[in-house]
Amino acid sequence: MAEDWTIEGDYIEACNCDVACQCIWLEPPDDDVCTASLAWHIRDGQYGDVDLSDLSVGMLISTDEGVMFGPETKWDVVLFVDEDADDQQRAAVEDIYLGRAGGIWAAVADTHVRSADVATAPIDFERDGTAVSVAVGDVVSMDASQLVGFNEEVGTISPFPLSNDHEINTGKSSTASVSYDDAFSWDVSGGNSYLGDFELTNA
């Protein structure tokens, strides 16, 4: 039986859409496919008795053509677990992000995930106010800043599925490159990014 879990902290994603990705509104993405890199820094987290605080997680997603969250659209995924995680923490991260422990990732896994690789890597996650920089080994590089609009306010998007409050800040990447293998290799620098605080749970 899966443990209860809660994680919260800092989040970033960078994808191939030029501006706020249409998957939020259940529309096809730019180029009709989604290629995205995502990363989380867990400031505070618990999986049963396992402390996940101060670990980072990375993910790559490459989808079939069509609406990303359409029930027929399949995803290929790579999950990167922080090399600083011990065996219990690694198992907990895999249970959460591969959908074995309930919550949003269970719905994603059941409906969309066709294949999922898991790798361990050093993950350097830095947040400085409205900017986030992430390096996952020599595979993923992301730098992005939140976008400021009218009234000098940072833009937000809702409903965003990967946080309990369903809201995230809009942003733009300056660097968003991936080089893992032939299926996960792209440079979408200068495109859409979402970044900010997140909280997820299976409760």
What is the tens place of the pLDDT at every residue in 128-175?
989 999 999 999 999 999 998 888 889 999 999 999 999 999 999 999
Indicate the pTM of the whole model: 0.95
Whole-number pLDDT of residue 1: 56
- Higher per-residue pLDDT: 22 or 72: 72
Whole-number pLDDT of residue 66: 93
Mean pLDDT of the chain: 95
HSE of 109 in the Cβ direction (CA atoms, 13 Å)? 17
End-to-end CA distance of the chain: 14
Return d(Cα 170, Cα 156) in angstroms, integer. 5
Question: pLDDT by residue (tens digit) across 74-113?
Answer: 999 999 999 999 999 999 999 999 999 999 999 999 999 9
Tokens, residue 103? 């919550």
What is the residue range of 98's domain?
A: 5-201
The domain total for the chain is 1
Question: pLDDT by residue (tens digit) across 1-18?
Answer: 578 999 999 999 999 999
Whole-number pLDDT of residue 19: 87
Burial of 153: CB neighbours in 10 Å, binned 0-12, 13-18, 19+: exposed
Return d(Cα 5, Cα 12) in angstroms, integer. 21
